[in-house]
Each structure stands twice: as C-alpha cells, then as structure tokens.
Chain A
Amino acid sequence: MKTTRRRFATGLIGLAVLLPAAAACGDDPAPAILESGKPFVVEGETIATQELVDAAVKEGTLTLYTGLNEVTTRAVNEAFTADTGIKVEFVRSPSSRLFERVKSELGAGNLPADIVAIGDPSLVTDLDNSGLYAQYKVPMDGDLEAQYKSKNGTYYSFSNLANVFAYNTEVFKGTPPQSWADLANLDGTANRLGMVQAGASAGGWRLAYFMRQELSNGSDSYWRKIAATKPLIDTSTGSLTEKLSRGEIAIALARPPEVAGAQKDGAPLKIVWPSDGSPIISAYAGVTAKAPHPNAAKLYLSWLLSKRGQSKLAAEGGDYAIRTDAAPPQLNGQAAPPLADIKAKFAPDADQIAKRDGWLKEWGTVFGIAG
C-alpha cells in the first residue's frame, strides 16, 4: 500500500515533466518476424509480398475503426505490432454509433480509418454500398471458405463470435441451464437473467434472430418465454458482465472474451456452452477506399486472415478463428471447446437483413422496450 502511494505521488509529480517527452517517444517493440526487403512469410504461408512489406513499413502505422470488443481488439493489435513493428491506432465504439460516425466522415471526405471492422451484416452492407471499402484480395483468399468472403471482394469476415450462458457460481441457486431449452424454463425470481437489448449491438440482434428463427421457427414463442422470466435488459454486453460479476443477476447471455476478462479479475463466473448450439456473430473488416495508409492496412488484413493472425486472435483475443487450422480460443488460460463441438449456428446475412427492422420492433413490444 505504502509503495503504491509513494509511486503514485512520484508518478503525479513526474507526470507534468515526463508526459510530453514520453508521448513523443512511445513504445517501440522490435519487429519480431517481418523484415524489410523480404516477403512476409510465416510457417510457409505468404502474408505479403516484398513490395507490400516495404510500402507498409514505410507507412509505419495504421488506424482501425472497430465495433468489436476492446479485449479482443487490443490483444490482436498488440500481436500484430509485435510481429510487424507497425503501430495500430484504434477507435472502438458499438457498431451503430461507429456506423453513424463512419457515414458522416465518409460523406465529409475526412475519414481517417484505414480499416473498418464492424459486427452487423446490415451495417457492413450499407457501408459497402456507400463505397467505404476498396477491392482487395488477401493472398490467402483461396484458402478461406466462401461464407467468410463478401460477394464483391471488398471485405472479409475474420472472426466467429460465440454466444454462451455465463452464471455467477455464488449467486445461482440450483442447477444452471445447460441448453436453450432449459433456459426457457428458468425461474426468473430465484435466478434473474440478464440480456442485451436486441437493437443495442450486433450480438443482441443475433440472439433475437436466433431465438425466433432457429428456436421457434419464426414465431415469437421463445421470446415470450424468456420475457416471462422478467429479465434485466441492458445496453451493452460489458455492463451486463459487470452486473453478473457483482451478483446483481445470476445468469446472463454473455460473450466468452468479456467473461474471461471478469474471471481474470476474480469474478466467480462460469461459462455454459449450450448443448443445443451456440449462435455465431460474424465480424467483418475491409480496407477503406481512401485509406491514408493503404499498404499497412492491406498488410493488417492479410495478417489477420493468415494462420498466424487467426491463431493470435483465438489465443489472445478469446474469440473463434474463421480458419480451421487455428486452435480454439484460450479463455483465462483454458482452451474453449473446438468450434465443431459447440454446434455453431450460422445465419445467412441476407435473411438477417431482410427480417431485422420488423423483428426488432416486435421484439421491443414483447420485452416491453419501446423506441
């Protein structure tokens, strides 16, 4: 305690003197793998040609706009910088707020982003139609499954974000539900459920779509069962996880990276992989058409889709890779089950886009959330 205080006091005094100097220097970890004047090859996979490497190194930095969670974003960016020596600046914002910003900056011709990553099929399609993305084919394009590529070659899906249950082991009374079928019979008074508003994030919508399309064949019966448990309806997965950690709710529809982060901080949480399947949200990214650092951006996207980048995403970012040659995510030191074992549920983009606006409105009525 005492050292902390002293360190803190010294820190404050030193702050005014050191800040400008320190900010100018920055952290500069030595490039681990990438070398100028050579193609960028890791474990036999070519990530970039020599020309792209040299041009990207010359740019030295790139800016990422992302709607993905902070834990994963930070881990992936740090791994990329460690591998290439290229710095990544990023702005993180929930998808729809990010969308508004990108649209406005794009319209003003003042968009500083080199890469825009967003987690909602409707939003990425709208942005793509507005001319946000450049055509770019990564070197490993041929190795990727068709479902992860955009039709017109402008963006890729780079991660499979799984949805799970997480419960507080100190608060949950009785046996936690093991499946979506169990969840529908939850006693909401004894064990309050928390979930995110359907319209608040890509994840909220994906769950709403999953419950209706895949659990009740297009009717709202599953929604009504869940609504009957009187769930707490939050605006972000983060604040939901925080409430679960504190024990204000007993169980939540959550995402593994956030749960693992809370576990690391000592929260008594446990993940349940529902036995009847885990709905998957896709995360999309592409190089912007007027990127200030187009080469660094291309290198980033290629690295992200390489085996190397995908393995880092899973191992350090806590989300599933889209490539089968990358290992399952590491969650707080433990390996998550392989994607093949969690009955991953994918949903076609076109159907999601077609049904979204109407269903969101009806979701609001069923769950008593207007606006």
Chain B
Amino acid sequence: MNILQRRRSWSTAPVASLIGIILLLLVVVPMGTLLVAAFTDTPPRPGAPLGNLTLDNLTAIFTGASRSAFINTLIIGVCASLLALAIGSSLAWIAARTDVPLRGVVQVAAIMPMFTSSLVGALAWSMLGSPRQGYLNVILRSIGLPDFINVYSLPGIIFVAGIYYSPYAFLLVNAALTLMNPELEEAAYVHGARFRNVIGSVTLRLVMPALLGAGTLIAVMITENFPIPQILGSPYGIQTMPTQIYRLMANAPSRPNEASAAGAGLLVLTGVMVYLQRRLLAGREFTTVSGKGFTPRRQKLGAWRWPAFLLAAVYAVLAVGLPTWALLQGAFRRSSFTRDAKVLFDPASFTTRTFNEVLRSAHLRDVLLNSLMIGAGTAIIGGGVYLLIAYYVHRIKGPGHKVFPYIAMWPAAVPALVIGLGYLWTWSRVTAIYGTLAILIIGFIGHLLPQGFQSVSSSLTQVHSELEESAQVSGASRLRAAWEILVPLIRTGVVSTMLLLFILSMREISVAIFLFTSKTEPLSIATYNTWETGRIAPVAAMSLIYVAVLVVLTLISRRWFGMKTERST
C-alpha cells in the first residue's frame, strides 16, 4: 500500500486542478452567478453593475401561492420517485435475475420510455387522459362506462412522472444486479432461507447503493422537471416550483432574481437528499465485483413466469404503446378533434399530409443534424469528463475528492431553465464558443453532470480496487492498470452512460432555450417552438420522427449497451 500511496501523491495535484477548473467553468461560475442573482435586486447580466443585496427574492418564494407550489413539488417528488423506483427495480430484477420468458422484450420495454422526452410524454398523456376529450375517456364513454380518467391532477402528474423516470431506476439497478455475485444469495438458500428473506436481507441490501443512487437521482430530476407539471398541472391550477420559476422567467416583467432564488431553494432540498444518501451508505462496503469469478444464477419463477412478463407488458403499454398510439393519432388524423370513438379507428379520418410535409422540410434536416452533433459531443466529451471525475473521486482520492461529488450534484438541483440563464449570463462574452454548438454541448455537460457522474460512479464503485492494485503491485503503472483491468470491466457501464447522455441531450429543451441560435437549433427546440404555435399534428410528427431516430441509433449501439443477452445468460 505504501508504494501505491506514494505513487498517488505526486500525480494527484495536476489532476485535481484540472477537475477543479472543469467544475469551476461548468458548475461553480454559472450556478454561482445564479446564487448572486438570488441575493441581489438586478440580474447579473454581462456588463451590468452588480445590484444591491436583498433578501426579498427569498422571502417572495416562501410566501402565498409559492408555498403550495413547494408542497406540490414535495408530494410529486416523493410519490413519483417511489413509483419509478418500484417499477424500475422490479423490472430490473425480473430481467436480470429470473427465468422470465422473452427477457429481451422485458429489457427493451423497461428502457423504451427513455426515448420519449417528458414533454412528448406529458403531451401524449394529455391527449389520452384529459377529462372528456381524452382518447381513453372517449373510448370508455362509447362502451357505456363512466369517463373517469383525469391526468390533469396530482395523481395524473405522479403517474406520468413515475412511468417516464422508471428507466433510470432500471438502468442503475439492472447494472448492479447483473454484476452481483450470486454466491451470497446462494449461501442464504443453502442455510435454509426463504425467497422473500433472501430478497429482503441479501439482494436488496447488495443493490442498496444502486437503489439509493437511483432514488436520489430520480427524486432530484422529478423535483426539477418542468414539462410534466407545465402541461398537466399549470393550466388547471396545480403549480410546482419549476412552473413557478418558469413564470418568473417567461412572464413580463421577468423576475430572474426571484427565479434564481427559487432555484437556490431547490438546491437546499437536493443538498439534503444527497447528504442523506451519503449518510445511509457511509461506512459500508458494497463492492460486488471482486477478483473471484462467478456464474450468475437465475431465480426460477415457476407459475409466476408469465405474470412477471405481464407486468413488463402492462408497463410497456402504458409508457410506450398508448403514448405512441396517441402520437400517431395526433400526426395522422385529419382533425385533432375527437367527435367519438369511431374516428379513432376509421381509416377515412387519417391522412399522411402533415407527416410528409414535416419529413420533407429542409428545416427538419438541419435541426436533426444539430441534435445528432450535440448528442454525440455531449456523450463523448461529457462521458470522458465524468469518468475522469469519478475515477479521481473513487480511486485516486486526492485532495478535494470529498467536495467534488457535492459540486457535481449541484446542477441537479437547479431547474434546467435557470441553468440556461446561468450559462447565458456567464458564457455570452466568450465569442468563440457562445452562439455555436459548443455552448450547447457545454451547457448539456454541465446540466447532465449529476446523472452522468452518478451513473459512471456506480459502475466504478462496484469494481474493487484490489484488481488494479494487484496489477500495480506487479509493476503496472496506474494508467496501464486502469486501461487493462478497469476499463474492460466498466466499459459496459460507461458506454451505456454515454448512450444515456446522448439520449438525454437529444431531448433537452430547457437548457437550450436561452442558448440556441437559428443555426444551432436542435430538434427538441424545434418541436417545442412548433408546439407553441398551437399545431399538434407537426409536433406529433416530429416527436415520432425523433423517437424513430433514437430507436434506430440505440439498436445500432445496443451491443455495447449492456443489455446483450449473452452477457446475462
């Protein structure tokens, strides 16, 4: 150990400063500017004098209607995260550790909703489940049942947020379960434990870091989610903190200082969550991949095989099937008005006109190209940056390794819309970058830092450092040990993180809204702008095209996605 420690000490300083600079530019300066804004009376725009110090912004967000927004945010955050965790981790366990039939289908079903942005998901569900005119209600009425579905409600928002965020739980928990040595579970069985004891006292505890990591991440993301409450809640009087912030930003006179203050409020909330997560995990060892080999073992489900599959199927219908059907209705039906259930199925009520119009437009081609380039840039550069930070924090453990994870979680707490503002205020002076695709890539890397860092970290912490240390003891350099031992073991995790980053940046709207130009406009912004014009048909068409592009790209890269069947058989 002494040799290793000595090796560490001389190499850490430059790496630590590099990470420090990256975090400074990505997080501390833009988000710090927002903090300044929260405590001053004028926006810290470039070239403007610093305003006077005030606490008015903070008091404004904790009074009156803002308080009910805060409570709604908490209710939605807690309930939807639990729902997402329940769905995601059950599906992960079914897919990774049981002899469920059609495993590939279960895996695909569990991650499919990721291809839909929450804007598109919320829009599709508002078409399906709005009172009176929602397709499902129209169908219910036509078969003589009461039309009881109403997604414009707290349960509706919780349901939609829950189903669209469960893939994150699936990905993190699935990775943990796949890499987990089943010896411990087997030992429990040998000693006479029953299935439910094993699940509760062994499996669940072993995947606890992944579960808590996923839980924190999801809770934070749902708390700051803007499109779902904006579409399903805001017009019906259900406000959340992000929709309040949007109003402060988007309404004239805009109040960016109060918006920043509300962002700071969310920051405190997230800080508490991350702290709790760390407290729960502190002092425990969760390494499941060690030097010893193992053969995965699958739980025999017996009579429960098909019900388990059915669970995945129902989820797929709710999260993918019905919304896609709604988008098809939106894109191809002649009129967005639904008179009765018959028009939903009558071939005469459909036309490909709008879809063709959208597909052929030069604009679509430009924005799609932008999106692909932004996605690739964010995935590759971002993936590298997150891996560097995670490796430093979990392996090198040099100066600052305890602080960096907190800084890395910071952007999660700031609503994406406000992050965009922070980048606008701090980066608009940098002529070489501002106004190009680079500022969007930088903005997305900053915004997605928590997800990316968390995801890379969970792959990294599962591999015990003894593997690299033994290589180093045998004379390999740190770099070589990492390259030849660590990289192959975490490759799946890192590549799937990069794919995740690609997908997330392809669908990001809020961060880009202040940073795009006519030449760098991505598909997601084009879709949002079209939605603002009030035409549902092209929005549905663009959403379908976007989903199709993501599905094709994911299928191509699936062999690196860690979902490949031979890995898990």
Contact = CB atoms under 8 A, between A and B. Distances in A.
B529 interface: yes
A340 interface: no
A234 B235 contact: yes
B37 to A, nearest CB: 12
20 contacts: A15-B368, A19-B365, A22-B362, A107-B48, A109-B46, A110-B434, A110-B435, A122-B253, A168-B337, A200-B247, A201-B252, A202-B252, A245-B337, A247-B338, A262-B534, A262-B535, A265-B336, A266-B337, A360-B253, A371-B66
A236 B532 contact: yes
Interface in B46-95: 46-48, 64-66, 69
A80 to B, nearest CB: 15
Interface string A6-22: 01100110010001101
B336 A266 contact: yes
Contacts of A348: none
A71 interface: yes
Contacts of A236: 532
Contacts of A241: 534
A183 B476 CA distance: 81
A70 B254 CA distance: 22
Interface stretch (A30-38, A85-93, A274-282, A331-339): A85-93
Interface in A262-286: 262, 265-268
Contacts, number: 207
Interface string B119-137: 0000000010011110000
B337 A258 contact: no
B530 interface: yes
From A15, A94, A96, A266, residue with most partner B Cβ within 10 Å: A266
A245 B365 CA distance: 28
A245 B429 contact: no
Interface stretch (A97-105, A174-182, A219-227): A97-105
A267 B536 CA distance: 10
A350 interface: no
Given A7-B359, A238-B534, A110 B431 contact: yes
Interface stretch (B1-9, B20-28, B511-519): B511-519
A104 B532 contact: no
B300 interface: no
Given A104-B46, A104-B424, A235-B250, A246 B517 contact: no
Interface in B241-267: 244, 246-254, 256
A344 interface: no
A104 B428 contact: yes
A341 interface: no
A248 B368 contact: no
A265 B369 contact: no
Contacts of A100: 43, 249, 254, 256, 421, 424, 514
Interface string A227-250: 000001111111111110111100
Central interface residue in B48, B352, B428, B513, by most chain A CB within 10 Å? B428
B434 to A, nearest CB: 6
Most buried by A among B246, B253, B514, B534: B534
Contact of B428 (A91, A110, A235): A110
A371 B254 contact: no
Interface in B214-231: 230-231
B283 interface: no
A95 B252 CA distance: 8
Contact of B429 (A91, A109, A370): A109
B236 interface: yes
5 cross-chain pairs, A with B, having the tightest CB-CB distances, nearest first: A370-B65, A241-B534, A107-B47, A199-B251, A89-B518
B454 to A, nearest CB: 30
Contacts of A354: none
A19 B369 contact: yes
A96 B65 CA distance: 22
A12 B536 CA distance: 23
A12 B236 contact: no
Nearest to B63: A370
A174 to B, nearest CB: 17
Contacts of B295: none
Contacts of A4: 352, 355-356
B531 interface: yes
B278 interface: no
Contact of A99 (B66, B239, B254): B254
A23 B366 contact: yes
A69 B352 contact: no
B45 interface: yes
A170 B252 contact: no
A25 B558 CA distance: 34
Nearest to A73: B533
Interface string B538-550: 0000000000110
Nearest to A370: B65
A104 B43 CA distance: 9
A221 B521 CA distance: 44
Interface residues of A, number: 80
B354 A265 contact: yes
A261 interface: yes
Contacts of B536: 242, 245-246, 265
A70 B529 contact: yes
A112 interface: yes
A202 B250 CA distance: 11
A95 B250 CA distance: 8
B247 A235 contact: yes
Interface in B100-140: 127, 130-133
Interface in B447-495: none
Contacts of B428: 104-105, 107-108, 110
Contacts of A200: 247, 250-251
Interface in B346-390: 352, 354-356, 359, 362, 365-366, 368-369
Given A107-B48, A261-B534, A261-B535, A92 B529 contact: yes
B425 interface: yes
Interface in B2-38: none
B517 to A, nearest CB: 6
Contact of B47 (A23, A70, A93, A109): A109
A197 B230 CA distance: 13
A357 interface: yes
Interface in A317-371: 356-357, 360, 368-371
B403 interface: no
Nearest to A123: B252
Given A110-B428, A235-B230, A97 B250 contact: yes
A203 to B, nearest CB: 11
Contacts of B517: 63, 89, 91, 112
B370 to A, nearest CB: 9
Contacts of B69: 371
B91 to A, nearest CB: 29
B303 interface: no
Given A104-B45, A368-B237, A27 B64 contact: no
Given A11-B359, A20-B369, A101-B514, A266 B534 contact: no
B491 to A, nearest CB: 25
Given A12-B552, A109-B429, A197 B251 contact: yes
Contacts of B518: 63, 89-91
A103 B45 contact: yes
A142 interface: no
A262 B537 CA distance: 9
Nearest to A205: B252
Contacts of A261: 533-535
Contacts of B519: 89
A120 interface: yes
A197 B46 contact: no
